[in-house]
Structure 1
Amino acid sequence: MLWNVDLTLVDVAIVTRDAYADAFRQVTGRPLVKLAPAMGRPDSEIIFETLAVNGIVTGDEHLPKFIEALAAAFASRRKRLVKEGHAMPGAKDALQAVARLDGVVQSVLTGTIKSNAVLKLDMFGLDRYVDFEVGGYGEEVYPKASLLQVAQGRVKRRYGFRCDGSNTVLIGDSARDVQAARIAGAAMIAVASGRSTPAELHEAGADIVLQDLTNASEVVAAVARLTSPVDRKAV
């Protein structure tokens, strides 16, 4: 079970933008004029586009420096997350309810870099339901569909059972999340809590579209409907 983070489980957009501006200034010595839109994309892609649209000629050295600066800038603002952000309605109850399902491993498939994803969930008490070691993150330069498959491989290595389209569900809020699931052969529960409308999520190919996460029983039923029981002995 893979969860998108931003606008699916939490909304900390104000703090994220401020951290990006701080990181941009640290790396380039210039103020940030324009931040590339997220649109469900990984931080690595946003960073490269942000540098380009602000007239910075990018090289291989920029990405690791920017990621390091972004992690530090975000961590320094951790107290603002709860004040200026919030967990999405129903997120904690949904995570808790899915965690009760037999054989379920929950992690994240997110465009956010790992340290920031951990911090976002930790500050709202959502981290206890997630195994971050088998997730996929924004510093990994893969398309999101490929990153989903990377996460499946991590589950197999850590837990010893096959992880494929029959037992992998992605929950996210964007059409890009839906497209990633479709390409990777995973099931998709779309939540219309972000910037994609229910119609757009249906059109992108989501198996199930929920308005939000406020009905935990509805989330659990959707997961059960889209998955087969896992044989932990299978390899």
Structure 2
Amino acid sequence: MPPMNRLVLWNVDHTLVDVGRVTRDAYAEAFRRVTGRPLVRLAPTPGRTESEIIFETLAFNDIVTTDDHLPAFVAALTEAFAARRADLTVHGRVLPGAHEAVSALSRLPGTVQSVLTGAIRPNAELKLTELGLAGNLDLVAGGYENGVYSKAALLELARTRAGERHGTAFGEKGTVYLADHPRDVQAARIARSPIIALATGSATAAELRAAGADAVLSDLTDTDAVVRTVVELAESS
């Protein structure tokens, strides 16, 4: 086999899948369990880590936070998502072209695929597993919300973890991130890795270009374009 020398990291929500309804329902249940009150306002979620969403949601709903809130909310959110496993296939969807892009990249010699997401690991894995995307992704090597690191630091952590798992060194420039928000572009810039931005979330193509994305695609439906762009960025960077 050829050496593994290219790492592709996928953002999950609004890049590969859309599970917004399940997410809102799970947050409402977790909020009620942690605070004893109904959720009135959920913080914006695109491009953010789970801890940012949790703390801002608590603030939006006039909850004075303590050190216990984050671990309690994460535990409740994990359980709320697990209880809605079946809802992911009913109310969630894989974004157009995602299956084909992940599958095509899995056949690219020297390539490892994993995830870099602001979601907590159990929930990210559940989304990808239930919607049929996990098979070609090394989820153990991924970067997930952990309450401590920024997405840029998580990108570097995922690169190191993937290298250890696959017995090679993935360079900064050989690690390509695919995501949908200007915050993700910023994280890639900080980590000095190329990013393909997808206009599949709340940001427009113009906003993604202005943020400094190396390439912008409208979506994942042109599989050849996705593969070609990944290869070009990894080889030219």
Structure-2-length-normalised TM-score:
0.94
Q: 1:156, CA displacement in angstroms?
A: 2.0
Q: Which of 17, 42, 45 is the aligned partner of 2:49?
A: 42
Q: Distance in 2 between matches of 1:139 and 1:52?
A: 20
Cα-Cα RMSD: 1.2
Q: Which amino acid aligns with 2:9?
A: L
Q: Which of 114, 117, 121 is the aligned partner of 1:114?
A: 121
Structure 1 residues 85-96: aligned runs within 5 Å: 85-96=92-103
Name the structure 2 match of 1:135.
142
Name the structure 2 match of 1:126.
133
Q: Which of 191, 204, 229 is the aligned partner of 1:197?
A: 204
Secondary structure of 1:105's counterpart equals strand
Name the structure 2 match of 1:16.
23
Deviations 1:95-125 (A, max 9, x none): 0001111111111111111111111111111
Structure 2, unmatched stretches of 5+, are: 1-7
Name the structure 1 match of 2:107.
100
Q: Which moved more, 1:9-18 or 1:56-65?
A: 56-65
* Residue 161 of structure 1 pairs with residue 158 of structure 2: no
Q: Distance in 2 between matches of 1:62 and 1:129?
A: 35
Structure 1, unmatched stretches of 5+, are: 230-235
Q: Which amino acid aligns with 2:216?
A: V
Q: Which moved more, 1:132-141 or 1:146-155?
A: 132-141
Q: Distance in 2 between matches of 1:139 and 1:182?
A: 21
Secondary structure of 1:107's counterpart equals strand
Q: Which amino acid aligns with 1:144?
A: K
Q: Kindly tell me: are residues 193 and 112 of structure 1, through their superposed partners in 2, closer, same or farther at Cα, counting changes over 3 Å?
A: same
Name the structure 2 match of 1:51.
58
Q: 1:160, CA displacement in angstroms?
A: 2.2
Name the structure 2 match of 1:233.
none
Q: Which amino acid aligns with 2:104?
A: A
Name the structure 2 match of 1:173.
180
Q: Which of 209, 212, 218 is the aligned partner of 1:211?
A: 218
- The total of aligned residue pairs comes to 229
Secondary structure of 1:227's counterpart equals helix
Instruction: Report percent identity of matched pairs.
Output: 56
Q: Which of 69, 79, 84 is the aligned partner of 1:72?
A: 79
Deviations 1:55-99 (A, max 9, x none): 212122111111110011011111111111210000000000011
Deviations 1:6-45 (A, max 9, x none): 0100000011011000000011111111111013101011
Q: Which of 188, 193, 199 is the aligned partner of 1:186?
A: 193
Structure-1-length-normalised TM-score:
0.94
Q: Which amino acid aligns with 1:84?
A: H
Q: 1:159, CA displacement in angstroms?
A: 1.6
Q: 1:214, CA displacement in angstroms?
A: 0.6
Q: 1:228, CA displacement in angstroms?
A: 3.3
* Residue 226 of structure 1 pairs with residue 207 of structure 2: no
